[in-house]
Copies of this chain bind each other. A is one copy, B any other.
């Protein structure tokens, strides 16, 4: 059977189709790269209306990514979706603490989620970009830590998905004075989170 087998050819054609079908918009060229990559990874055009990129988010992200970035993800699945070749070219590292034994212990002792305990631990690591695709509790916790002056990231990718707390966790991000990219409402997820961070990295490195 005949089908396209060249990966870059598949991706380029996909982005063409997305551009043709997404209709009119007011996005900048760089915003469009993020939005198209999210639609590419979900086949869900609703993201066109759900993604909210704060004014300084892309510039702040690019500056962080060009300076040996440390990226923290809430799940190993989001971590796994981050393009490692691009990350390596940027001399960056991506970490996720949710499976560490000490995080299990702290979560159990305090009756909190592992995601929360893991973010708390990540506080000590000078994280530049927090990437949350799953855990509203991680995002709630991060906002607390920011309010307490314990962390000051260059970007939050805030796209937890779900029915309990996800929408609420993303609601008041514009009050924080931290650059963010969020998906409004319930949608989001690890693939969306990875797509956003990959789109940002591809602005900074040759693929």
Contacts and interface: CB of A to CB of B under 8 A. Distances in A.
A43 B166 contact: yes
Given A163-B18, A191-B191, A168 B43 contact: no
A77 B191 CA distance: 8
Interface in A36-76: 40-44, 76
Interface in A6-22: 6-7, 10, 13-14, 17-18
A153 interface: no
B164 A17 contact: yes
A5 B116 contact: yes
Interface in A103-149: 111-114, 116, 136-137, 140, 144
Given A77-B194, A191-B77, A137 B43 contact: no
Interface string A152-192: 00000000011111101100000000000000011111110
Given A3-B165, A77-B81, A191 B194 contact: no
Nearest to A136: B3
Interface residues of A, number: 46
B77 A10 contact: no
A149 B116 CA distance: 49
B187 A190 contact: no
A34 B138 CA distance: 26
19 contacts: A3-B136, A3-B137, A3-B165, A5-B111, A10-B113, A10-B137, A10-B162, A10-B164, A14-B162, A17-B163, A40-B162, A43-B162, A43-B187, A43-B188, A44-B187, A76-B80, A77-B77, A77-B81, A190-B191
Given A3-B137, A5-B116, 7 more contacts: A1-B140, A3-B165, A14-B164, A42-B42, A43-B187, A76-B80, A77-B80
Q: Kindly list the 7 A-B residue pairs having the minimum CB-CB distance in the complex, ordered from nearest.
A: A43-B186, A80-B80, A14-B163, A17-B163, A43-B187, A77-B80, A77-B81
